[in-house]
């Protein structure tokens, strides 16, 4: 499955697709080989990822896949950029998405209004129930919001949204209830590692 199927309703399609489910079959190995522990199977290599345009950095479990698509919206045409990483043997996906606003819309709109609309759209498109929300700020002071929601299939999404320099960023971790508990600290570290790089 390609990340093309994640568009335009990234989380909705992603959560229903089954693409974050682990294949339960294990490869056959020689009898003499020692069985790796669960920790050895699921530890991805986390590396600092810098966006191609240099406008954000984040720790990712490997090189994310990238997809770009132009979407028609009430604001006019916008380009949606998506970066997705899925560690092997884990029921979790890490995503960063962003879109640039048309100049006139970005100048006129209140950041809280944008965040309200983004939250409403996230819940509506994924058919999810809001678990919790709080207002936050990026490390360099941009307004944001953290929301956590759960869909009917039991997938939990933790999403931090920021409005910064004409863009809406969404930093998400999508996982199962079981993995959400075991990966809670990892997910928090991932979300905390996101940094908006200011224009020069």
pLDDT tens for 89-146 read 889 999 999 998 876 665 567 899 989 989 998 999 899 999 999 999 999 999 999 9
3-state DSSP assignment of residue 119: helix
* Residues facing 175 on adjacent strands: 92, 156
The pLDDT of residue 17: 30
Exposure string over 19-35, b if 16+ CB within 10 A, otherwise e: bbeeeeeeeeeeeeeee
pLDDT tens digit sequence for 155-186:
999 999 999 988 999 999 999 998 988 999 99
Flag whether pLDDT at 192 surpasses 60. yes
- The model scores a pTM over 0.85: no
Domain 3-18+64-183: give its CATH code: 3.40.1000
The pLDDT of residue 38: 46
Domain ranges in the chain are 3-18+64-183
Q: Strand (E) positions, 21-64?
A: 46-50, 56-61
Q: Of the given ranges (44-48, 74-78, 115-119, 143-147), which has the lowest mean pLDDT?
A: 74-78
The whole-chain average pLDDT of the chain stands at 79
Band (pLDDT 50/70/90 cuts) for residue 48 is very high
Q: What average pLDDT score do residues 67-73 get?
A: 81
Report helix angle 10-17 to 111-126, nearest 10.
30
């Amino acid at each position: 499955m390609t990340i093309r199927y994640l568009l335009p309703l990234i989380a909705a399609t992603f959560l229903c697709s089954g693409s974050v489910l682990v294949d339960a079959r294990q490869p056959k190995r020689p009898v003499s080989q020692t069985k790796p522990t669960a920790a050895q199977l699921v530890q991805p290599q986390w590396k600092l990822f810098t966006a191609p345009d240099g406008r954000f950095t984040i720790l990712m479990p490997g090189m994310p896949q990238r997809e770009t698509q132009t979407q028609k919206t009430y604001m006019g045409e916008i380009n949606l950029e998506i970066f997705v990483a899925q560690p092997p043997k884990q029921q979790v996906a890490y995503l960063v998405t962003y879109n640039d606003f048309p100049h006139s819309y970005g100048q006129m709109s209140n950041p809280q209004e944008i965040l309200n609309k983004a939250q409403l759209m996230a819940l509506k498109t994924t058919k999810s129930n809001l678990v919790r929300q709080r207002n936050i700020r990026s490390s360099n002071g941009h307004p944001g919001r953290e929301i956590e929601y759960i869909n009917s299939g039991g997938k939990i999404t933790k999403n931090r949204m920021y409005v910064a320099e004409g863009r809406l960023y969404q930093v998400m971790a999508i996982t199962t209830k079981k993995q959400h508990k075991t990966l809670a600290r990892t997910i928090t570290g991932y979300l905390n590692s996101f940094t908006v790089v200011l224009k020069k």
